[in-house]
Amino acid sequence: MVPSPKRPSILLVNPWIHDFAAYDFWMKPLGLLYLGGILRASSFEVSLLDCLNLTSLPSKFTAALKAPKRRNFGRGHFYKEDIPKPEVLRNIPRQYRRYGVPPDVLKEFLSAFPRPQLILITSSMTYWYTGLCETIGFLRAHIPGVPILLGGTYATLCLDHARRYSGADRVLPGPWDGEKMQVISEYLGNTAPSPDEDFVSWPYPAFDLYLRLEYICLLTRCGCPFSCTYCAVPKLMKVFESRPPVHVVEEIMHWSAKFGVLDFAFYDDALLVDPARHIIQILEEVIRRKIQCNFHTPNALHIKMIDQEVADLLYRSRFKTIRLGLETSNEQAQIENGGKVNNQEFQRAVRSLKKAGYAGEEIGVYLLAGLPGQRAEEVEESIAFVKETGAKPILVEYSPIPGTPMFEKAKQVSPFDIENEPLFHNNSILPCQWDGFTWADFRRIKEGLRK
């Protein structure tokens, strides 16, 4: 028999982060891992280099490093090293860091790594692009001559900037589709079958490329039917699609039974929409099959869908981390930001969750601080409102996102050039501070939350 030709090899890369702070709050490159699953199903040889996670490398390369602390349910710190701040951030009085595997360790690892034929690198926050650029430069130096294609959030929201500064051979914006598979095939001189573009038909994400799995990120739906003025999901996702509930439960059982995973974080932007046809069926099946895993919702749940039935099912199926997206208790701002929730619906949801069995401090409520034109008093009133219900307020600094309706307003009030410099999108610098909401106001409010 004539031996079959070697399959084309592709290296998937999750880049370093450069920032003042970063934390592994169930943070994995889910889109990149889905792409890995799709490419494997299309007969490509796929490997993974996750620059953020020590567990993506064999222990012989990382044994000398002091592993960062991990907390319950798989969360924890990234390995980090101090680096110089970018010149435009020189006046920010905080230490800047590279998060992820140290470069000398990656260099040793890549020296023994089989040379791929193509590198696909993802991107996340727009203001993390300097970490992406460093990663691409590092790959150029240590795997020279291999084409690098860039996709992901930054590549989509800041397309022109990414083309000018990333160093990638080609930037592929937007969600996965057959055209991107054609581009990949052209670079490899290979004609691969074009996969179904329907999210429902995708294979499981390639989490098994990690050497150790502390948790799994689940996506039961792609996109969101809402249009919040500060959110980029409508720009990043073309349609709103849902997987069959039984398929979701089968994926949970796959990772739990074959890999011993106990913790699952839902990445959905609209997990609870149309509950009777989706989340209720998922939770009832989890309970029926007596699945003893822990579930988490770091992306926030839509409050208006939480009635007593949903709350009871969340509690009974072991949802351990509950996050609600209130953003503000100011009723006018709620309407202007998209109208997805009101205060009465929030109070009802908290009552239902507490009646189901959750303690007040287990119900985390995201509140946005530093919105364009927002006054400090509005944030303080929102915090007081959440505390009155017995829930736990969690302050989230606003980050201007290109392509969103609120970004246009942010450009008018921000003291930074957020239109041309993505580093100024960083919520750590409070991009839209003004006389009505200053750094001093923010520090005072944060300190009050710690008490």
Is there a domain that residue 211 lies in?
no
Q: What is the pLDDT of residue 253?
A: 97
Lowest mean pLDDT among 191-205, 293-307, 308-322: 191-205
166 and 231 inside one domain: no
Q: What is the pLDDT of residue 196?
A: 58
**CA nearest neighbour of 101 among 46, 161, 57, 132:** 57
Number of domains in the chain: 2
- Render pLDDT for 360-392 as a digit per residue (tens, 0 to 9): 999 999 999 999 999 999 999 999 999 999 999
Most confident region among 98-107, 221-230, 231-240 by mean pLDDT? 98-107
Rg (CA), the chain: 22
Q: What is the pLDDT of residue 131?
A: 98
Q: What is the pLDDT of residue 191?
A: 63
Say how far apart CA 168 and CA 153 lie, in whole Å: 15
Q: What is the mean pLDDT of residues 118-129?
A: 98
Amino acid code (one letter) for 344: Q
Kindly state the DSSP code that residue 318 receives in the 8-state scheme: T
- Render pLDDT for 2-30 as a digit per residue (tens, 0 to 9): 333 478 899 999 999 999 999 999 999 99
168 and 289 inside one domain: no
Q: What is the pLDDT of residue 1?
A: 30
Residue 433: pLDDT over 60: yes
56 and 165 inside one domain: yes
Is there a domain that residue 200 lies in?
no
154 and 13 inside one domain: yes
CATH of the domain at 27: 3.40.50.280
Task: Please state, for a pLDDT cut of 70, what percent of the chain lies above it.
Answer: 97
180 and 226 inside one domain: no
Cβ within 8 Å of residue 130, ≥6 positions away:
18, 86, 423
CB 192 within 8 A of CB 32: no
CATH of the domain at 358: 3.20.20.70
29 and 170 inside one domain: yes
Pull the structure tokens for residue 392.
């736990």
Torsion angle, CA of 260/241/408/421, rounded to 10 degrees?
40
54 and 184 inside one domain: yes
91 and 172 inside one domain: yes
Half-sphere exposure of 91 (CA within 13 A, CB side): 3
Among 173, 188, 203, the domain boundary falls at 188
Is there a domain that residue 370 lies in?
yes
Pull the structure tokens for residue 215.
């948790």
Is there a domain that residue 48 lies in?
yes
171 and 221 inside one domain: no
Say how far apart CA 374 and CA 442 lie, in whole Å: 12
- Render pLDDT for 246-274 as a digit per residue (tens, 0 to 9): 999 999 999 999 999 999 999 999 999 99
130 and 247 inside one domain: no
Look at phi and psi of residue 71 and say left if phi exceeds 0, alpha if psi is from -120 to 50, else beta: beta
pTM of the model: 0.94
Q: What is the pLDDT of residue 261?
A: 97
Q: What is the mean pLDDT of residues 216-223?
A: 95
- Render pLDDT for 56-113 as a digit per residue (tens, 0 to 9): 899 899 988 888 888 889 899 999 999 999 999 999 999 999 999 999 999 999 998 9
Buried b (16+ CB within 10 A) or exposed e, 1-10: eeeeeeebbb
Q: What is the pLDDT of residue 194?
A: 61
Task: Using alpha carbons only, give the angle 327, 432, 52 rounded to the nearest 5 degrees.
Answer: 75
Residue 340: pLDDT over 90: no
Residues of the domain holding 367? 216-450
Is there a domain that residue 294 lies in?
yes
Task: Please state, for a pLDDT cut of 90, what percent of the chain lies above it.
Answer: 80
Is there a domain that residue 184 lies in?
yes
119 and 170 inside one domain: yes
The sign one gets for the Cα dihedral 357, 360, 361, 367 is positive
Q: What is the mean pLDDT of residues 413-419?
A: 95
In angstroms, what CA-CA distances link 319 with 127, 213, 290? 32, 19, 14
Q: What is the pLDDT of residue 192?
A: 61
E strands within 362-435? Answer: 363-369, 392-397
CB 92 within 8 A of CB 121: no
CB 162 within 8 A of CB 168: yes
CB 154 within 8 A of CB 122: no
Half-sphere exposure of 343 (CA within 13 A, CB side): 14
Is there a domain that residue 317 lies in?
yes
Is there a domain that residue 63 lies in?
yes
Q: What is the mean pLDDT of residues 425-447?
A: 93
Strand order across the beta sheet in which 263-266 lies:
216-218, 263-266, 294-296, 319-327, 363-369, 392-397
18 and 133 inside one domain: yes
